[in-house]
Structure formats: structure tokens, C-alpha cells
Chain A
Amino acid sequence: MEKVLGNKKTILFFVGPALLIYLLLLIVPSLWSIGYSFFDGSPIRGFEFVGFANYTTALSDSHFIDSLLASIKYAAFVTTGQVVLGLALALLFVFFLQKYSSLVRTLIFFPVILPAVAVAQLFSKLFEYSPQLGFVNDLLVTLNLDGYVQAWLAQGETAFGVLVLMDIWRSMGFYAIILYTGLIDVPDDVIEAARLDGASGFRLITSIVLPMIRPILLSAVIFSLNGTLKVFESAVALTGGGPGNSTTMLTMYMYNTAFSYGEYGYGSAIAVYLLIMCLIVTLFIYRFARKNVA
């Protein structure tokens, strides 16, 4: 076997097809898109080379800046929510619900497998205002909190809040499972030893458990940040970017620019900015992780 795998041609044979498909479906379109970002025009009018003009336009385009800030704000809220709540749930599974945790895990994981569009429908009904009050507004009426009854999805701030809430609810189960796998790897004897030394509760978690699951925690944060920076379908399905442009994320602005406005070059430039942003975030977290280890 070693002899077979030592042969370069054989390696190529095994890896080749997958690599080729990867190249064709991922790398080539990416490079293509980067190429487009230096052009202006449409398939009908033809394309014209404009150098870095698309990139400089973006910097003075208030919509680009607005949607960039919306994306960052959204990523900050949702990543914090997903990872913190995910971690809390994972700790709950391990330390308090040992026996029933599989049932609870299934329930909490359930929203992860629901399509984003279905979840968005669910939430838009929950927070409905007209033609009839949804569950949340109904509840507020029942609790005599009529003053808080409002059109949640028709106001920028609250619509953003509902979107954040929805995406945290939708994916915290996923992070709970990831972190749970990290937690069950923490040796029991270490925890027992710490307990004997008098560490308990909060102290036990911050000093013993968290440092031990650090690598997996960091992966979760990277996953989450990259996922949330690229959020698209849940915002489209829940609010369509509105009201106004309060929930228009960078990805949606990119999509609109390229496909609704027919500005393929500019849209590609925005995509490249998004790519750079995700790279920076990932590198930053890796750097941070390495420094802390050292």
C-alpha cells in the first residue's frame, strides 16, 4: 500500500478528479469574478476595461458602506449569540442533562435542518402585525403590554432585531453540537481533579473547560463569522432587505448590483471585497489564537 501511495501518478489519480471538479466549480469562477471586477459593461453592450475604478467607486458609494456596516453589525450580533448560546447549551447538555440530553439535543438541533425560507415564514407570522396580529403581538396584548405592540418587520431597527433573533435560533443548535463534541472530549479526571482543588461552577468553566476546548471554540467562531458575513437567504426570505435598506447585507447588495442592476463588474468588485473581508477575519482569529498559545 505504501508503495502505491508513494507513486506520484497514483496520488494524482486519486486526488485528480476531485481536485479538478474543485478547480472548475470553485477556483475558476472565483478567478473569473475577480477578472470581471476590472471591467464595466453588460453582455449586451460589451465590456470595457476600467482598471481599479470599480474598487474605488465602492469606497465612495454610500450604499456599499451601509450594507458593509449592516453585515458587520449582523455578524457581530449573530456570531456572539450563536457561539455564546451554543456554548451555554453544550455545557447544559454535559453538566446538567446527562441523561436526557439526547432528546434535548435533537430538539435544539431541529431548526438547523429546516430550510431558511420556512423559518423566515414562521418568524414573519410570529411577528405579524397586519392584517392580523401575530403570536408575539398577541402575547403582548394578553400581558397588557399594548404599548409594545408594533409592526416589527416594518421598522428598520426591530426588523434587524428579529432577523438576528431568527438566525441565532436557527443555528445555535449547530454550534451547541460542535462544542458538545469538544466538551465530551474533556477528560473526566481533569474535571474531577479541579473539583477536588475547590474549583466549581463558573471558575471550573472559565479556567478548565474553556481552555481545553479552545481549538474547537475558535473553529466555531471562524465558522460562524464566515457564515454570518455571507448571510443571504434568511435576510432575503424574512425582509427582502427592507424596510428601506435596514437589513440589506453586503451579499444582497452584491447580488442586486450584479444581477438586478446589470452592473456585473461592480458586483464582482463587491464580491472581491467580501472575499477579502472573510480572509482578514479568518487570519485575524488564527493569529489571535496562535499568540495566545505562545
Chain B
Amino acid sequence: MRKMNFPLVLLSSMVFIAGCSSSSDGDTQGGSEEREINYLSNRTANQGQPRIVLPIMEQYQEENPDVSLNLETIEQSDIVQRIQLLTASNALPDMFVYESAQLNDLIAGEYIVNIENAFEEADMLDTVRPAAIDLMQQLSGTGEMYAVPMELNIEGFWYNKEIFESLGLEEPQTWDEMMEISDVLLENEIQPFALAGQDRWPITRLINAFAVRYYGVDAMQRVADGNLSITDSGFITAAQTIQEMNDNGYFGQGVNAMDYDAATGSFLTGQSAMYYMGSWALGEMNDENQNHIGGPENIGFFNVPLVEGGEGTLEDYMMNAGLITVFSQAGFDESTRDWFEYLYTHYADHAMSEHGMVSGLATSVEPEEDDPLTQLVLDELEQAESSALWFEATFNARKQELAETNAQQLIGGSMTPEEFMGALED
């Protein structure tokens, strides 16, 4: 017993600790020939963007067998935290998805590639849709594009054509007309709107839609720049309008308990007539197992209607790029650069032909004939002259949480429009 000494215990414990500590020192710089590109996403290999990127890599490998792509999937809510830690230890993945509102630290520290320059050097900048460039430039807050618009969604009101036709209703041009339509629908015992209040952001999207029509497309940008106060009367009216819409029963009962799936279901089973959502919901609308209102042919779309006396026009669209994809500067070597060019030469066509997905890159293929909604989105994109960001796009994480949390209280009636906007003032 006596001979067992303390240093030995200490030593064995230290071995244990060493085993626990980080073993992911990143062997990316291994051989000069083999290159493994690390790709961090919130989607798995057969979802979202990776299901388009991975097959392109297979194609690429036919000529470049030494390059491979290593996809790692993590929860969306963990991305910011993970990337912050990886940044601190200089181990950023070569390409990764990120929350657009938190880009500024990565840009300021020169951790990520200036995508606008990269596209320009590859002579590919003209393949990016102008609306997408505009959106990406707004998102980075620097006037330059730091992320690739691998997805491009327009947002607006989807509606049930059959219900509209049976009641002799037409697409509204103004917000007031939309309210009149809602009253007609209520009289006929149809819920005017589906709204996923439990997910919170659908509420602020509506507030934003009104505000953008009131102040024009750069409403939230002006707030971020300090040229417009968020407690200005137009914003108060916006919040008040959404609150009244709920008080009138336009969103049905128990909005705050309604999640995304339930709201989508309500629209796709004909319980509600209109649904403000982004075009990412096309997947559900095209899914015959979910769409019980006569398929995609029965769904129409109208842009956010105008507000009386407002500055916004019907050529302004609410847009969204999903989670954005950025490239780390440290990993942007010759191999990655070559892969980057190859990927974005082929990405848009793959996305469209395989999945009917619209990206911010121009495509040379047409959507399938049985996919009228994708065609509709493309047509609307053609008309888009400028794009507006969503309500929280320029907010930091804390303010975003505040806006979304309070939005539930606003339509629940426990917060006034003045309090709602006041809380968001700096």
C-alpha cells in the first residue's frame, strides 16, 4: 500500500484529462495533395442545401479525386455558439452556415471571405440575381456581399383560390381591401389567416410587412442607421394593425399555441384562406400528402398590399435567404477556390432541376411543368425591383429575442403597440 504514491495517481488522472480534452485539432492541412473541405450545416446529407452540394462534389471528384467534402450537421440553435468557439481556436470549417444577424464580428475580424470579391475574381458576379446581391449586401451591414445566396425566398400572402372564387373575392391591392376580405371570410365562417404565433417570428413578419409598405423598402435599414425611430407613428400603427387583426379574430383562437406545422396545416386543409409565409413553404404546398386543397394549382400568391399614404410599392418584395453560407478566409486556398467556382457554376441548375429550389444564382433550366408555384416564384422575382429584410434582420440576438417574445404579448393583448416598439428602442 505504502508504495502506491501520489504522483502516480496524479499522473493517471492527467492521462484521463488529456483524453477528455479537444482532439479535433483539424488535420485539414495534412498532405499537400489531399484536401478535405469541411462543411458545417444545420441540414443532413439529404436535406436542404447539402442534398444539392454533395452530389456536385461527387461530380467534381471525377476530375479532382484528391478533394473531398466532409459534412457536419448540428442544430441551428447551436451554430453561433459553435462557430464562436471554433473562431477562438482558429479551427473554422471551410464553409459553414451562419445566422446573418451575427455576421459583423466575423467580418470585422476578417475571418470570412468577401464573397463579392471572390465572385468577381472568378468572373461570376453577373450570375447572381441583382435582388440577391442587394439582399446580401444589406445583410452584411457593410454594403458588400459576404455570403452566398444559396436560397432565395420571397415572402407574401399565399391564398386559397377556390375560397376566393367561391366568395367572389379578388387579390387585394391595399391593406384595407385585405381587411374587408377578411371580414367577408369571417362572415362565411372561414378563418381569414393562418398564423404560427408559437413560432413568434411569423407575427413580427406581419408587423414588418405593414411597416415596409408604410416607410418603403429600407424601413428597418433606416432604423438600424439611426435615421428613423422605431417608435415613430408608422411603426406604432403597424403593431396596432396586427393587434387589431387578432382582436377581430382574423387569426383564429389561440394563435400563440399554433406552431408552424399547425398553421401550414390549417392553410393546406382549407380551414384558413390566407397565409403569410416565405416560398420555402413550397415543399409543403407541393406535397400531396399535406396539401388537401386541390394541389398547388389552387394556391395563389399576392405581394404585401399597399398601405394608404405609404411609400412602399408593389415592386418591393419581402425576401429571405434562409441561413446564409459563408467561407472561412483561412480555408480559402487554391483547392477551395477551385471547388467554390465549380460549385456555384452548377449549383443553381441542380437546385432547380432536382428540387425545384430557387437560389440567388441565375439558372438556365426551367422548373418542372407540374410545379406551377416555383414558376410563380420565379415570375415574381423577375418583377422584384428591390428587397426588404425581415423585421429582426438588423437586430442583435438579444433584441431579436425581445422582439419575438414581445410579439406574442402584443397579440395576446398584454402589451400595447407603444410598449412593444418602445422596448425595441436603443
Contact = CB atoms under 8 A, between A and B. Distances in A.
Contacts of B81: 259, 262
B-side interface size class: 35 or more
Given A9-B5, A260-B401, A261-B401, A244 B414 contact: yes
A150 B255 CA distance: 11
Interface string A1-14: 00010010110110
A6 B319 CA distance: 75
A13 B256 contact: no
Contacts, number: 110
A17 B415 CA distance: 55
A242 interface: yes
Interface in A175-198: none
B412 A45 contact: no
Interface stretch (B39-47, B131-139, B171-179, B257-265): B257-265
Interface stretch (B48-56, B84-92, B118-126, B151-159): B84-92
Nearest to B77: A260
A43 B85 contact: yes
B254 A45 contact: no
Interface string B370-405: 000000000000000000000000001110010001
Contact of A244 (B2, B253, B408): B408
Given A4-B1, A17-B9, A242-B408, A262 B258 contact: no
A211 interface: no
A142 interface: no
Contacts of A44: 84, 87-88, 105-106, 109, 111
B254 A151 contact: yes
A260 B80 contact: yes
A9 to B, nearest CB: 7
Interface of B: 1-2, 4-6, 9-10, 12-13, 17, 77, 80-81, 84-85, 87-88, 102, 105-106, 108-109, 111, 197-198, 200, 252-258, 262, 265-266, 396-398, 401, 405-406, 408-409, 412, 414-415
19 contacts: A10-B1, A13-B4, A44-B105, A45-B109, A129-B253, A129-B257, A130-B262, A131-B258, A151-B254, A154-B254, A242-B198, A243-B197, A243-B409, A244-B405, A244-B409, A248-B405, A260-B77, A260-B401, A261-B396
